Amino acid sequence: MTVEERIERVLKDAVRRTRRASAPETLSEAISYSVFPGGGRMRPRLCVAVAEACGGKEPKVCDAAAASLELLHCASLVHDDLPCFDDAAIRRGKPSVHRAFSEPIAVLTGDAMIVLAFETLCEGAAHVPARLPGLIRIVGRAVGAPAGIIAGQAWESEPTINLSAYQRAKTGALFIAAVEAGAFSANSDPESWTQVGEKLGEAYQVADDLHDAMSTGDELGKPVGQDARHRRPNAVKELGVTDCISRLKGLLGEAISAVPPCTGRAELVLMIEQETRRFIPRRLAACAA
């Protein structure tokens, strides 16, 4: 089974647990709609890749950690799309959850997916419970207050934004958690991986800014120009396209340099390099070669 298949399987099992004959059907339909078909599944793939690079012998644990991060990522997308935030009509090329279902269902879908993420993590690590507190800490820190993705979104409600805390919370936190949870599930020191996650998170932020500024909506599967519309910081506006691409490549190089010694280092580096191609908008791929 490929890594991608393993991730989809754990996600499917998790979503299936939300269904039952005597349960409200729309909620479980909306949860499934929010998770499938997925986007790049970058964070869970990274989590599993790091666990394997560390020689992890507990695929069940790292798959559960990976799936929990993906569920939390999907939950944040559903809530970020709500009318009181981005009011986005389209996500992953189809109507956003509040458009396809309703606003109440979108709020509840995000809520239920946060709970499901912790349940999924728990089920995957229940046979090695001593690992569970560390995993919950890594995942919780990446999502909640003071410095996870929810806090990142909350920065947009502050009169003055601390730009580095904002970007680290909104984008970096889940990448940091992906590498840390991967390492921890393989019995390796999560902190020796933090910097890899930080640099990949920053690279992704720059890539996302490039996509937002340069792609068409069809390429992206969501509305473009959202940063300008919501007056959010965007690296393209700040640096210009060429310098942005240089910065992106520089950050990916720094991420690779930060990978600590481990048994599967070469494969992991290759995977991060391949990821670069996904990061760069198609029409800019030529300039980035």
Q: Name the one range near a copy of itself by CB under 8 A: 135-143, 210-218, 246-254, 264-272.
A: 135-143
CA distance 151 to 97: 22
Footprint (CB under 8 A) of a copy of itself, residues 113-132: 114-116, 118-119, 122-123, 125-126, 129-130, 132
Shortest reach from residue 260's CB to a copy of itself, in Å: 26
Shortest reach from residue 115's CB to a copy of itself, in Å: 3
Residue 18 or 205 having the CB closest to a copy of itself: 18
Beta bridge partners of 95: 90
Q: Does 214 bind a copy of itself (CB under 8 A)?
A: no
Shortest reach from residue 164's CB to a copy of itself, in Å: 8
CA distance 268 to 53: 6
Phi-psi region of 102 (alpha: psi -120 to 50; beta: other; left: phi over 0): beta
Who's near 137: CB < 8 A, 6+ residues apart?
none
For the chain, the 3-state helix, strand and coil shares in percent, each to the nearest 5, are 70, 0, 25
- The CA–CA distances, whole Å, from 22 to 25, 28, 116, 131, 191 equal 9, 12, 18, 34, 44
Shortest reach from residue 81's CB to a copy of itself, in Å: 11
Beta bridge partners of 94: 91
Footprint (CB under 8 A) of a copy of itself, residues 58-97: 75, 79, 82, 84-85
Buried b / exposed e across 182-197, counting CB within 10 Å, b at 16+? bbbbbebebebbbbbb
Q: With H, G, I as helix, E, B as strand and everything else as coil, classify residue 40.
A: coil
Residue 9 or 20 having the CB closest to a copy of itself: 20
Q: Does 222 bind a copy of itself (CB under 8 A)?
A: no
Q: Name the one range near a copy of itself by CB under 8 A: 55-63, 139-147, 194-202, 227-235.
A: 139-147
Shortest reach from residue 197's CB to a copy of itself, in Å: 18
Shortest reach from residue 288's CB to a copy of itself, in Å: 33
- Residue tagged 């999924």 (tokens): 120
Residues 90, 136, 239, 258: which binds a copy of itself (CB under 8 A)?
136
Q: Does 144 bind a copy of itself (CB under 8 A)?
A: yes
Residues forming contacts to a copy of itself in the complex (CB under 8 A) are 17-20, 22-28, 31, 75, 79, 82, 84-85, 101-105, 107-108, 110-112, 114-116, 118-119, 122-123, 125-126, 129-130, 132-133, 136-137, 140, 143-148, 150-151, 153-158, 162, 165
